[in-house]
Structures are given as C-alpha cells and as structure tokens.
C-alpha cells in the first residue's frame, strides 16, 4: 500500500507538470464528526489537470488531523444495594474498547485513545459556471488512506491483596502483590503506540470556487467520507475545506 500511494503521487505530479490547464492548491480542512469527542483541523493539497472544458482529473493529499476519544469513567462496585448488576467495578463510555476484570473488585479498560487518518485520493471533478468568476463543482474520488492509532490501558483503583486475599488492617500496602502496571493500587493510565491500518474508500465533495485572477482560484468544499477497515473504529469525517489554488 505505501508503494501504491507513492505511485499515485508521482504519476499525479508528473501529469500536472506536463499538462495544460493544471492547478495546485493548498488549504485546511475543518473536521466535524459525531464519532469522535475532539478533532484537530486537517491539511489538504489538491492538484489536477483539465481533460474537458468542464471536467478535471484531480488528486488530493489529505491529513484529517488527530481525532481523540474521551477516557471512559471508572465506576466502583457497590455490593451494599439490592442491584446485583453493579456489584463488580466497571467502566462507562467505552465506545471503542473492551473492559476486563482484574484482581478483586476492580476492572481495566483497553481501547483507542486517538486516531489519525491521512491519504491520497484520485478522482474526477466536474465544474460549471455559476456567475462571472464563480463556479460550482462536484467531486468523486477514491481515497487510499492510512490510519495510525494510539491505544490506552486504564486500570481502576483496587484494594490491596496478597496471594488473592485482602491485606489485614494495618499491613504495609507495599507488600500487596496485585499492583497495576503503574506499580500502584490507584488509578493508572498507560498510552502506547497502536496499529496502522490501510484501506480504500469513496470520498465525495461539492462546493464552489471564486477566481479573482486568471492564475488564482479560491475554493470552498464540503466533503464526507466513511473510513472502514478491519479492526479500525469506523468513522465518518464531514469536513469543510478552504483552499487557495494556483492555475497554469
């Protein structure tokens, strides 16, 4: 897949360099998605060639920025009420991870902390005149993307134990053998580099351009893509892009 991305980029740059009616643009991508709790702004580069008076062959490089998830909330077990469902400790807000039981009345969460999607797209852009110097366009592309993830392990507080039994009152808690990977009996959070995912999905966009000069065009685009890969948290990116293009 890295070779595919490199080949697409090199062929696109070569085509743009030698074809008449080409352009190169640089801009930002403002992301909005219900699948994440926080999102950074992204970066995009657009370049293309005219293959018909109203049709362009276009390539894009896009970095959607880092998309983050809130940590789940640890809920201690409660054996004092009549509800048996909450006797064991648990986590709430676990959208992209799993909860596992640890020693005694405690639990651990393993899941995603954040993801970052980048990719190269190739597709067609149809552009039509709206009024003088202003055009509307529709774009459909295939985006070959890479998703990098950060994983997190969270351990809830736990009572000290020795050989599976609670420590007697007054005993030194440092002798407990059920300490978490942070070396404590309290809340523990560990981040680590996750996996890398690859896939190809459809990427659609529409918007308008304004051309104040023959060589300068300002572009605004609304786009949407749902990234899907095995093991990757499926998400839909809805973005507003603002780009400045140089035409030649």
The predicted structure's pLDDT at residue 17: 45
In this structure, what is the dihedral angle of CA atoms 208, 210, 216, 221, given to the nearest 10 degrees?
-20
Cross-strand partners of 30: 240
Helix (H, G, I), strand (E, B) or coil at 74: strand
Judge if pTM exceeds 0.85: no
Q: Examine the pLDDT at 12 and tell me if it is beyond 80.
A: no
Distances in whole angstroms, Cα of residue 76 to Cα of each of 88, 105, 120, 157: 7, 8, 46, 8
The predicted structure's pLDDT at residue 178: 83
Average pLDDT, the chain: 87
Q: Which helix (H) or strand (E) holds 10?
A: helix 2-18
Q: Could you tell me the residue range of the domain that residue 69 belongs to? A: 2-78+86-247
74-115 confidence digits (pLDDT tens)? 988 766 665 556 668 888 888 888 998 766 567 899 999 999
| Number of domains composing the chain | 1
Cross-strand partners of 154: 109, 189
134, 208 contact by CB (below 8 A): yes
Domain containing residue 96: CATH number:
2.40.160.20
* 31-59 core/surface letters (b: 16 or more CB in 10 A; e: else): bebebbeebbebbbbbbbbbeeeeebbbb
47, 26 contact by CB (below 8 A): no
189-241 confidence digits (pLDDT tens)? 999 999 999 999 999 999 999 999 999 999 999 999 999 999 999 999 999 99
């Amino acid at each position: 897949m890295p070779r595919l991305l490199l080949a697409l980029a090199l062929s696109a740059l070569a085509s743009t360099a030698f074809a008449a009616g080409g352009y190169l643009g640089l801009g930002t991508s403002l992301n909005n998605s219900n699948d994440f709790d926080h999102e950074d702004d992204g970066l995009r580069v657009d370049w293309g060639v005219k293959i018909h008076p109203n049709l362009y062959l276009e390539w894009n490089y896009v970095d959607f920025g880092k998309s983050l998830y809130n940590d789940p909330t640890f809920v201690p077990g409660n054996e004092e009420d009549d509800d048996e469902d909450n006797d064991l400790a648990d986590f709430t807000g676990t959208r992209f991870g799993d909860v596992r039981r640890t020693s005694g009345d405690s639990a651990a969460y393993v899941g995603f902390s954040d993801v970052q999607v980048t990719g190269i797209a190739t597709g067609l852009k149809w552009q039509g005149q709206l009024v003088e110097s202003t055009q509307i366009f529709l774009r459909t592309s295939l985006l070959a993307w890479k998703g990098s993830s950060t994983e997190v392990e969270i351990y809830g507080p736990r009572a000290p134990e020795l050989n599976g039994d609670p420590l007697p009152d007054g005993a030194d808690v440092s002798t407990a053998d059920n300490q978490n990977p942070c070396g404590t009996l309290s809340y523990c959070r560990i981040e680590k580099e996750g996996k890398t995912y690859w896939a190809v999905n459809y990427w659609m966009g529409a918007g308008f351009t304004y051309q104040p000069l023959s060589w300068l065009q300002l572009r605004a685009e609304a786009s949407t893509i749902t990234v899907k890969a095995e093991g990757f948290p499926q998400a839909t990116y809805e973005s507003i892009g603002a780009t400045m293009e140089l035409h030649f």
